[in-house]
Amino acid sequence: MEKLKELNGTGMNKIYQYYKDLPGSYTWEQAVDSIEFLNSSNFEGFNDWRLPSLQEMGSIYNKNADEETTPGSKYYLTSCIWECNQYWRYTINSEDGVIAVLHETVPTRIRLVRDK
C-alpha cells in the first residue's frame, strides 16, 4: 500500500498533516459513505479521515494527476458546499488549481486528509 504523504510545508498555518488519494471517482454521497466506511475500518491505522476544506485542497492539489475518462475526474472534491445551492460542491481542478463548482452527482476524485 502506498505510504501516507506527510506535509512539511511552511508559510500557511499547517491545518493538516497527512493526505491520501483514493482510486476512482465518487459522487458526494459515495464520498461521504466511503469516508465513513474507511474511518470505521481504521484505514491506514487511523479513523479521522475527512475531505479537505477549499483552502487545504488549494495547497495540496496534484498538478500531475492521471487523467481518467469519467466526467469530472480531473476535479478533487472539497468539504465546502456552494453558498447559493446546497447540492453544488466546491472542487479544485487538478490541472491548474482553478476552483470549480460541480453538482454533487458529478463524480470527482477524493483526496483524504487527517490531522496529526
Domains, in order of start, for the chain = 18-114 (3.10.100)
Residue with cell 496529526: 116
Phi, psi of 50 (to 5 degrees): -155, 170
Q: 46-97: per-residue pLDDT in tens? A: 899 999 888 888 777 654 454 443 444 688 899 988 888 889 999 988 778 8
Q: Which of 15-29, 76-90, 101-115 has the lowest mean pLDDT?
A: 15-29
CA distance 47 to 38: 7
Whether residue 18 has pLDDT greater than 80: no
41 within 8 A of 33, measured Cβ to Cβ: no
pLDDT band at 28 (very low <50, low <70, confident <90, very high): very high
Q: Who's near 60: CB < 8 A, 6+ residues apart? A: 7, 19, 52, 111, 113
